[in-house]
Every structure is written in C-alpha cells, then in structure tokens.
A = this chain, B = another copy of it.
Amino acid sequence: MKDYFKHHPWHIIEEGFNPHYNKIAESVFSIGNGRMGQRANFEEAYSGESLQGSYVAGVYYPDKTRVGWWKNGYPEYFAKVLNAPSWISVHVKINDQQLDLASTKVENFKRILDMQTGMLSRSFTAIFSDGKKVQVDARRFCSLDNGEVGAIRYAITPLNFSSSCTLSLFVDADVKNTDSNYDEKFWDEVVKQAEESECVVVAQTRKTFFHVATGMRYKIVSGGQEVPRHIETELREKFAGNRVHIELQEGKEVVIYKYAAVLSSENHAKDDLLEDCRKVLSYAVSSGFENLLEKHAKVWEHKWNESDITIDGDVAAQQGIRFNIFQLSQTYTGEDERLNIGPKGFTGEKYGGSTYWDTEAYCLPFYLGTSEQHVARNLLVYRYKHLQKAIENAGKLGFRDGAALYPMVTMNGEECHNEWEITFEEIHRNGAIAYAIYDYIRYTGDEDFLIEYGLEVLIGISRFWAQRVNWSAERQKFVMLGVTGPNEYENNVNNNWYTNYIACWTLKYTQDAMQYVKAKNTVAFSGLLKRLSFVEKEVSYWMEIVEGMYFPEDKSRGVFLQQDGFLDKELLTVADLGKENRPINQKWSWDRILRSCFIKQADVLQGLYFFEDHFDQDIIKRNFDFYEPMTVHESSLSPCVHSIQAALLGYKDKAYEMYLRTARLDIDDYNNDTEDGCHITSMAGTWLSVIKGFGGMRVKEGQLHFNPFIPDQWESYSFRIEFRGRVLKIQVTTKEVKATLLSGDALTINFKGKPYLLRDSGSISEVL
C-alpha cells in the first residue's frame, strides 16, 4: 500500500515528479467519456517508463490464442482492448532541445484530477541543461457532452529566455499493445491527410476491420492573438502532423489549444469517416476549449447530482468513494447498448475483453442506483444480443437444443478465455446473467422487459442448466459435476453449492417468468415458444431438477458446503497464515492453493448475498462465521460482499475493514498493480458496500428499505439514489438517518422496516 497521492475530497493530487510512480499515476489520472478514454500519458515527448494508452470503446483486436496445451473448445482468439491511435501529443522542441521530463530537471510538478468537472491538469517547470527554464500548464478532458471530442490546453511560458520553438502536433496510428500475444501491431493505415492545422489518420484494425478516424486541429495564441508561425506538414505511414515553428518571448505565455476528434466505424459509415471527423473537428475548434469544457462540466454536475456519496470526518474515504464513482461514470454511460464495462475500463489493456460476470453481479446495481433506467437496461440488452453466440458457445461444448452458455470474457458474445477450468467450468456466470434480469426488474418494476428480451435469455440459460446436471443413481439426486465456483481457488469441483443453487433458482425463476409473459402477452409468448421449439415437458423436467437437486451441507455446523469434500480439507483460518505466505496466489503453487481451504472471494456467501431473503439471519451468520475467516480476498471483487454481509450481521468493524480494502485499492495501489490500470468493475462493489452495506438499502416488493449504520470513524455520510424516476438523498449521522426526495413523485420508503411517505421534495428523518 502506498500513500502517494494527496487526500482531498474532490481532487486526486500528485505533487512532485516521481518517474518511478509514473505508470501508477497514468492509470489513476485516466480520463474518459464512455466512448473514448486516455491514460495520463504526457503531451510532450517522454522517454521514461510509460504505458501508452488511448482507447476507443467497442474497438478490439482478436489476438490469436496463445496457449501451452490446446483443448477442444478453446476459442481461436482472445479479444484485446486496443491501444488506439494517439491524439494527445504536443511535442515541444526549444532550440533543438526536446522537452522530455526524463531528461530535464523538473520543479513544481503538480498533477490534479478534478473529479467534479472531469478535468486533468498538470503543471511543472522544466529546466534544460543549459539553464533555460520553461513553465508548462496543461489541461485536458474527454468531453462527456460530445463523446468524440478531446480537448487540450497546453500553455508554455519561457521563464528566462527567448528563443525559437518547434511544436510537433500530430495524430499517430503507429502504436502497439504491450500485451500483444505475438508482438504484432494491430493497426493498418486506411487513409491519412495532413493540411496546415488539420490532420487526420484513418486506420483499421487487422482482422476485425474496425475503422477509426483520429484527427486534430489546433490554435496557438498568446496575449489573445494568434501567434505567427511557419508550418511544415508531416506525413508518414499511419502518421499525420504539423511541425510548427514559433518564437517564444521571455515571460510570455503561449497557449496551444489542440482539439481532437476520435470517430469509429461503430458509429459512422466507413466511407464517411474522414469527412465526419473533419466536421467534428470544425465543431470543436469553433466551440473553443472553454465552451467545450463548460458543457462537459455540466454533464458531470448532472452525474454527481445522481450519484454522489459524501463522507464527513474521513477525507481519505471521501476521496476514495468519489474516485470509484468517477471512474465508473466515465467508463460506461449506458447510451450505447453494444458497449459494456471492461475490467480496466479506459485505464489499461490488461484482461482484454470488455465483459465479465462482474457486469451483472457488481456493476448493474451501481448503474441501477445512479443512472436512469435505460443505462442498466442496455447492459441487459447487450446480453440479449449475444444470446445466439451464447448458444453457439454452448454448442462448442456439446450442449444442444438452444442451451446457452454466456462467455467468461467477451467482446462480441464469443468466448475469449482459454483456461479449461474457467472457460468450460466457471459456468455460474450464466446464473449471474439470469439474476441480473431479476435484479433489474426488482429494482425498476419493468416486468415487461421479460416479454421483449428477458424470457428468451432465461430459457436459453435454463436449458443449459437442465443439460449440465445429471442424475446420480448413487445419491438419488441431481448433481452438477466439474465446475469452478466464484472462488477460483477451487477448480473442477462437484456440487458447488452456489452454482447448484443459482441453477435451481434460474429454473424456477424462468418458470415464473414464463407464467408472467403468458398471462401478459399470449401472442408474444406462443410466438417465442414456437421460435424456440420449446416443449412443455422441458419445464416439468426443470421442476424435477429443482425438487431433486443435491446441496452439500454440514448439518452439524449448520452451514452449506462450498462443494463436495470441503470438510476433507485442513480447516485453517487466514490468521494461521504467516505473512510470508500472503498473497497466496503469489506465494503458493496452484495445487497447494487448490487443496487448501482458503477462499479467493465470496462463494457460498455470494449465494447468501444474492438470495439473502431466502435464508434467515442465523443461517447467514453461521456461514459468514465459517467462511469469512478462510477468505483471503485476493480478488478485488471479494471484500464488498463481505462488507455488505458484515453490515447486515452487525459486524461493524469487519464491514468497515472490508470497505477500506476496496475504496482506495487503486489510489493507494494496494495490490501493486495499479500501473496496469484501475480495477474498474470492483469499484461498483465499493459503491455497493456503502449503499447496501452501511446504508442497508434493499428493494422489497417495489419499495426501498434502509437499515443504516455509521462506521465509528465517520461523522456522517450521504448518498444519492435513482429509483423509479426519483432522486433521493439519504443522509446518515451518528444520531439519525434522513431521506430527502430531490426530484420525482411521492414514494414510500422504509427505515428499519417502518414505512414513511416521502413527497414534494420533502424529508423525513428517524433516529438511528
């Protein structure tokens, strides 16, 4: 854990230049707008350590699978998030000396990410070896108002000299992914153009043939006037730029406004890309930096109004939760149903793919609670659109008749992952997708979602479960063999309780959903059944499974067993592990991890979290008391579920401890891997541990329930919630909880099970 960035309620602040931390800072200071994103790479040239990253949503490269030993059914490729053509560069040469912070002295270096307005700024004084001092103030943002626009304000002031200066302003598609499996470049040039002050490169991805136009225009002003300049255009392969010669005068600031446009063939006809890119550039340059920024900040203001969490008395916690909300909000805006939330968002390449079960299990509730309904809905529609691919995916594993297995990792619905124990066996992901439909409907009341999309997905998944279980003649029960549960520190186990449970729940929920759709829209229902060649006896077999499923449990302890044979393990606790063994995934070989009792992330507890209302609190407590001490939380997704459950059970300290593990995970680089990018999807878990954990929020029968407590370390906290067209603010102090209806119609909410009617922007409060 590093305490590197300064604490501040709204800003992330870096003071002083530390090349060693540069890649971490590049991740933390990443900006994006749901359509494009950019790591905090420098505008000027930099020859030090850096992970260059520009990203365009939905654009990927199917990198040929690399594997030691092939297994039937492995996908041919792993879809890589692409490092896309670069648009940020403003290279500065003063008297033939390149401005490069790796080779100049650097003073007064300061970098600030203003999360309130979504702007990154950076300032420093660079001192060349000949004593020339230059002051630089750089600001930039990716517009949330127009997702194809990025804008940079880069100001140079020569502090102790006057001299000629050459600026290189360009766009460059000659870029690489560091995680390329076979060390190839993924972009080819389509067309490029360099005019004075406007340059565009259209490049296409190999194999997938996504076209991306990356363009730039610029203005260079000083004292309100355009600066006289001499321009040379530069055209190289995949590269278009201007070399601009200007004169710097001592003490006089020169400001370069660089406007970038990034357009992809996902949103434009390929033939129009060049022209459309020029239009966006025209729009940006005619709007101007300040005007674009104002509109951008306005969108952020709106987002914060929907989603802000305040924490008083604990600036680090305040900064941490806002950082999580900020990153989530700039990763996925919900405007485009083809997109999803990559584990690193727009902050790095690692893990490739864009979609994991993280989306359904962790991110969906965040977007449900902080955005308008269509945002979460689009996440579900995304999976609906991948249903045919999920059926093909199941087909590759030998399943038939419309059974659907959603991929573990995907870009376009096809499986990307290639470890058999994950790809083929971590099938509980299918259950999370069914659960997300249920969760969405529970939250929004939008039951008709079942008619158009939901039921078809549920049937595909249920068909999979029905084929995946088998009858054990020995037990006279249905069993599910050879799975990997959410706890990936077990592989190829039999009867993972969580997977068996969510499978049965899916079968039952699908039956209920069928009844709903049948009653609500008979025509649509019978049309769907016909299209799916669905026969009645499928449901009756599902119900046989539901009735006859085997669930491992330890009756003497009164706990569910993670899987068959769990009690054969040596049952130790994390406290028994010396520091030299932690984290076990770095210290132990895989077999040792597998045969140990140690748990990577919530597994039985994940089930008790999803299906909390199926179990009385005693059962949850016994299981929590049994499993929590064995859990090493080596997944970033783990602590939030434990935090929420600890809160439910009144384990205040444990809830706070688990909260802390997620909230500042990236800012403080807990896991020593922030340089690869931020853990975007687990950030939703952080939000959940405040809202569902401390706030105790639940939705039951269409009403919001709160059962809050406040950690001893805090004076008060508040959060905002979107719920069925309303925005509510919940404030919790050490003494009371207060709910205010910020907008929307009257509604009944419940504090500790007691209903209150809230209307007309009114508030109610209740002692804790």
Query: A656 interface residue, CB < 8 Å from B?
Result: no
In contact, B472 and A590 (Cβ under 8 angstroms): no
Q: Which chain B residues lie closer than 8 Å to A396 at the CB level?
A: 589
Q: Which chain B residues lie closer than 8 Å to A711 at the CB level?
A: none
Q: How far is the CA of A491 from the CA of B493 in the complex (A)?
A: 10
In contact, A565 and B564 (Cβ under 8 angstroms): yes
In contact, B589 and A71 (Cβ under 8 angstroms): yes
Name the contact of A570 in the complex, choosing from B471, B475, B565 (C-beta under 8 A).
B471
Q: How far is the CA of A7 from the CA of B351 in the complex (A)?
A: 56
Q: How far is the CA of A475 from the CA of B421 in the complex (A)?
A: 28
In contact, A592 and B398 (Cβ under 8 angstroms): yes
In contact, A589 and B424 (Cβ under 8 angstroms): yes
CB contacts under 8 Å to B, within A474-531, are: 474-475, 479, 481-482, 491-495
CB contacts under 8 Å to B, within A52-108, are: 65-69, 71-73
In contact, A68 and B71 (Cβ under 8 angstroms): no
Query: A470 interface residue, CB < 8 Å from B?
Result: yes
In contact, B481 and A565 (Cβ under 8 angstroms): yes
With CB as the reference atom, state the residue of chain B lying closest to A470. B570
Query: A611 interface residue, CB < 8 Å from B?
Result: no
In contact, A470 and B569 (Cβ under 8 angstroms): yes
CB contacts under 8 Å to B, within A572-592, are: 585-592
In contact, A591 and B424 (Cβ under 8 angstroms): yes
Q: How far is the CA of A72 from the CA of B491 in the complex (A)?
A: 16
Query: A397 interface residue, CB < 8 Å from B?
Result: yes
Name the contact of A591 in the complex, choosing from B472, B482, B588 (C-beta under 8 A).
B482
CB contacts under 8 Å to B, within A551-572, are: 564-565, 567-571
Which of A67, A494, A585 has its CB near the most chain B CB atoms (within 10 A)?
A: A494
In contact, A588 and B72 (Cβ under 8 angstroms): yes
Name the contact of A67 in the complex, choosing from B67, B72, B481 (C-beta under 8 A).
B67
Query: A155 interface residue, CB < 8 Å from B?
Result: no
In contact, B72 and A472 (Cβ under 8 angstroms): no
Known: A420-B590, A424-B590, A591-B482. A568 touches B494 (CB 8 A): yes
Q: How far is the CA of A71 from the CA of B591 in the complex (A)?
A: 10
In contact, B419 and A68 (Cβ under 8 angstroms): yes
Q: Which chain B residues lie closer than 8 Å to A474 at the CB level?
A: 567-568
Interface SS of chain A:
loop
Q: How far is the CA of A387 from the CA of B471 in the complex (A)?
A: 46
CB contacts under 8 Å to B, within A409-441, are: 418-421, 424-425
Which of A420, A567, A588 has its CB near the most chain B CB atoms (within 10 A)?
A: A420
Q: How far is the CA of A494 from the CA of B470 in the complex (A)?
A: 20
In contact, A418 and B68 (Cβ under 8 angstroms): yes
A88 to chain B, nearest CB (A): 33
Query: A704 interface residue, CB < 8 Å from B?
Result: no
Query: A535 interface residue, CB < 8 Å from B?
Result: no
Which of A69, A481, A567, A568 has its CB near the most chain B CB atoms (within 10 A)?
A: A568
Q: How far is the CA of A570 from the CA of B565 in the complex (A)?
A: 19
With CB as the reference atom, state the residue of chain B lying closest to A424. B591
In contact, A72 and B589 (Cβ under 8 angstroms): yes
Q: Which chain B residues lie closer than 8 Å to A398 at the CB level?
A: 588-589, 592
Query: A594 interface residue, CB < 8 Å from B?
Result: yes
In contact, B589 and A73 (Cβ under 8 angstroms): yes
Query: A229 interface residue, CB < 8 Å from B?
Result: no
Query: A595 interface residue, CB < 8 Å from B?
Result: yes
Q: Which chain B residues lie closer than 8 Å to A471 at the CB level?
A: 570
In contact, B567 and A473 (Cβ under 8 angstroms): yes
In contact, B69 and A419 (Cβ under 8 angstroms): yes
Q: How far is the CA of A479 from the CA of B421 in the complex (A)?
A: 23
Q: Which chain B residues lie closer than 8 Å to A564 at the CB level?
A: 564-565, 568
* 14 extra interface residue pairs, beta carbon distance < 8 Å, beyond A72-B590, A475-B568, A564-B568: A66-B66, A68-B68, A72-B586, A72-B588, A398-B589, A420-B591, A421-B492, A424-B590, A471-B570, A473-B567, A474-B567, A474-B568, A491-B491, A491-B492
12 A/B residue pairs, CB under 8 Å, sorted by A = A65-B68, A66-B68, A68-B419, A71-B589, A72-B587, A420-B589, A421-B492, A472-B567, A482-B591, A482-B595, A492-B492, A565-B565
What residues of chain A have their CB less than 8 Å away from a CB belonging to chain B?
65-69, 71-73, 396-398, 418-421, 424-425, 470-475, 479, 481-482, 491-495, 564-565, 567-571, 585-592, 594-595
